[in-house]
Amino acid sequence: MSDPLSEREQATAALNLVAAAAEPYLGSLGERPVHDHSADHLLDLLEGPLSEEGEGTMAAVEQLLAVGTEASTQTSGPRFFHFVVGGATPAAQAADWVTSLLDQSSGLHLTSPLAARAERVALDWLKDLFGLPPAYGGVLTPSATFANLTGLACARQWWGERHGADVTSQGLAGLPRMPVLAGGYIHPSSRKALQMLGVGRDGVTVCARDEAGRVDLEAMERELAALEGPAVIVGNAGEVNTGDFDPIADLADLAGRYGAWLHVDGAFGLFAAASPRLRHLVEGVERADSITADGHKWLNVPYESGFAFVRDQDLMFRSFGAWGAHYLPSDVNYNNLGPESSRRARALPIWATLRAYGRQGYARLVERHHDLALHLAEAVDKAPDMELLAPVPLCVVCFRYRPEGTKEKEELDDLNRRLGAALLADGRVYAGTTTYRGVTALRPAIVNWRTTEADIDYFWQVLRELADRL
Ligand SMILES: *Cc1c(COP(=O)(O)O)cnc(C)c1O
C-alpha cells in the first residue's frame, strides 16, 4: 500500500530521477524532430483506471518520465516556429524547479515574504527593461490572457467609477455598455477577457483601414467624438500574423484627447522595448493605462507566466482587493492586485533569468531573433516560387508558397494549407498556417533562445523539400 507519508524518503530520490533525465532530454532538443509521431502510441500508457492502492512514488515518476521525454512536443526546442512559443532559458528552467522545490503559497505576503519580495523586484526589473515608469503597479499572472483580463478589469472599474458606479462591488447592472475600440489587430484573448468581464466579446468597435487590420485612426477618432462617456481603447503591440504594431503613440494621443483608457496588449511585442534598435516600435507604450505581456513567450521562462502593468496601482486594488482588506503598498498581497488567489511563486524564474542575462542579454536575444527573421525573409524573397506577404518588423515571417502556374486563390490557399499540414505531419520542424489578408499563409515566429541560423536554414530546407513533394 502506498501512502505519501510512508514514502517520505522517496522525495529526493524522485527529484534525482528528474535531474538525471534532464541531460539526455535537453541534449536532444534540436537533435530530434520537434514531434516524433512514432512515439504517439506511448500516450496510451497514461491511461488506465484510477489505481486503488497506488504504484508508489518512484514508479509513477519513472512512468511519467518514460512517456514524457519521448512523447512530448519539443516546443521548447530551437525548431518550433508555430504560434509564438518561447523556450526556457537555463536560469529560468532551473529557477522553475526551485519554485516547485520551495512550493511557496505566494498570494499573501504573510505566507511567503520571499515570493512577495521576488515578485516586486521582478516587476521593477521588467518595468525597467521595457522603459515603463517605475510608479506603475504590476502583478504576475499565469498568461497574457490573464494579464489582459487584469488590465481590462481595471479599465472596467475605472469606467464604472466615471459613471458613479463601483462595478467590483455592484456589477454592471444599470450601466450602459462599456465602449471598447480597437484596430483589427486585437487578439482573441482580449475579446476573451471582455467576455469574462461581462462586457461582451463582440461589442468591440473595430476601426481598421485594410484587410490586414491596420488601425484607422480617423475612424477611431470619429467614434470617440460621437460617444457620450469615456471609452476603452485596446492597442496591439505585436500582432501574431506578421508581428506588426499599432501606432501606440497615436493611440495614446487619442486616449489623451478623449479621456479614454488605453490598454496595450504587448504579449510578445513589448519585448521590442528591450532593444535600442527596435524600441521605436512601441513608442508611446509608457503612456498606456494598462499593459500586458507574456513571460512564457519571449522572456523564455517556463509556462505559466505573464504580467500586467497598470498606471494606477490603487485601481488594481479596487478591482481585485478582498472585502474589507486595506491597501498597504509596503506589504503587497499580490492576490489583491490580480485575478488569482493562491498561486505559485512564478516570480522566481523571472527573477533568475533577468539576474542571469540582464538588459543586454535580452537586447541581444531580441535582436538576434529579428536578424534570423530577416534572414528567413531574404530566403523567401529570393525564391521565385515563394511570396513574402508582409514586412518583417520583429520576429514573425508571413509568406506563402506560390509556384508558377498556380494563380487561382482557392488553389493557392489549398496548396498552402497542405504545405502547413505536411510540415506538422513531418514533425522535423513546426510551423502552421493562418489567414492573412484573406489568404492562407505560413507565419513562423522566432522567439526561442536556442534558435540559431542553422535551425532557420534547416527549416527552410525541410519546407523546400515538402513543397517540392506536393
Ligand atoms: C499569445 C498572445 C496572447 C495570449 O497569451 P497567452 O499567454 O497564450 O494567454 C495575447 N495577445 C497576443 C498578441 C499574443 O500573441
Closest atom of ligand 1 to 238 CA is: 13
- Residue 26 to residue 22: CA distance in whole angstroms: 6
Closest atom of ligand 1 to 266 CA is: 13
CA of 130 to the centre of ligand 1 (A): 18
What are 352-393's pLDDT values in tens digits? 999 999 999 999 999 999 999 999 999 999 999 999 999 999
331 — pLDDT class (breaks 50, 70, 90): confident
Residue 329 has pLDDT above 60, yes or no: no
**Site to substitute for ligand 1 among 297, 305, 396, 398, most atoms within 8 A of C-beta:** 297
CA of 163 to the centre of ligand 1 (A): 31
CA of 187 to the centre of ligand 1 (A): 7
CA of 446 to the centre of ligand 1 (A): 15
Closest atom of ligand 1 to 239 CA is: 13
**Site to substitute for ligand 1 among 75, 83, 85, 143, most atoms within 8 A of C-beta:** 143
Pocket of ligand 1 (CB under 6 A): 84, 143-145, 187, 189, 236, 238, 240, 265, 267-268, 294, 306
- Grid coordinates of 427: 514533425
330 — pLDDT class (breaks 50, 70, 90): low
Amino acid at 431: A
- Residue 263 to residue 190: CA distance in whole angstroms: 10
- Grid coordinates of 314: 490603487
What pLDDT does 407 receive? 78
406 vs 90: which has the higher pLDDT: 90
What are 217-274's pLDDT values in tens digits? 999 999 999 999 999 999 999 999 999 999 999 999 999 999 999 999 999 999 999 9
- Residue 398 to residue 389: CA distance in whole angstroms: 6
- Residue 101 to residue 144: CA distance in whole angstroms: 25
Give the number of other Cβ atoms within 10 Å of residue 310's Cβ: 28
What pLDDT does 63 receive? 98
- Grid coordinates of 359: 538588459
Give the number of other Cβ atoms within 10 Å of residue 328's Cβ: 11
CA of 355 to the centre of ligand 1 (A): 25
Q: Give me the helix-helix angle, 144-162 and 313-320, nearest 10°.
A: 90
Output phi, psi for 429, to 5 deg. Answer: -135, 160
* Mean pLDDT, range 71-78, rounded to an integer: 96
Give the β-pairing of 386-388 and 399-401.
antiparallel
320 — pLDDT class (breaks 50, 70, 90): very high
217 vs 470: which has the higher pLDDT: 217
CA of 222 to the centre of ligand 1 (A): 29
- Residue 417 to residue 396: CA distance in whole angstroms: 18
What value, to the nearest 5°, has the Cα angle with vertex 335 and ends 334 and 339? 120
Q: How many Cα atoms sit within 13 Å of 315 on the Cβ side?
A: 24
Q: Give me the helix-helix angle, 188-196 and 144-162, nearest 10°.
A: 50
CA of 306 to the centre of ligand 1 (A): 9
The Cα-based distances of 254 to 235, 259, 260, 311, 448 in angstroms read 11, 8, 8, 17, 35
> Which residues on adjacent β-strands are paired with residue 290?
263, 310
In whole numbers, what is the pLDDT of the chain averaged over residues? 96
Share of the chain above pLDDT 70, in %: 98
CA of 304 to the centre of ligand 1 (A): 12
- Residue 350 to residue 303: CA distance in whole angstroms: 11
**Site to substitute for ligand 1 among 83, 150, 239, 240, most atoms within 8 A of C-beta:** 240
- Grid coordinates of 398: 508571413
